[in-house]
């Protein structure tokens, strides 16, 4: 199975950490996080995929 996201994207300097639990990215110049989540979504996805012997990457 393959899934592709066509959203606004993730800054390259954030890619190595996006699967960490609670990681939300760095605040923008306006002081807000680039993400509106709580940092669970991609972490949970990675756990599920790996339990099924799959791979997930960005």
Residues 33-53 pLDDT 10s: 555 778 899 999 999 999 999
Cα–Cα dist 24/44, whole Å: 14
What average pLDDT does the chain have? 83
Residue matched to tokens 């791979």: 55
Backbone angles phi, psi at 36, to 5 degrees: -105, 5
pTM of the model: 0.71
Average pLDDT over residues 8-28: 84
Scanning 1-58, the segments in alpha helix (DSSP H) are 41-51
Average pLDDT over residues 11-29: 84
């Amino acid at each position: 199975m393959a899934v592709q996201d066509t959203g606004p994207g993730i800054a390259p300097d954030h890619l190595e950490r996006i699967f960490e639990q609670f990681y939300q990215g760095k605040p923008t110049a306006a002081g807000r996080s680039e993400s509106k989540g709580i940092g669970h979504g991609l972490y949970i996805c990675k756990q599920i995929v790996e339990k099924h012997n799959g791979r997930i990457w960005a």
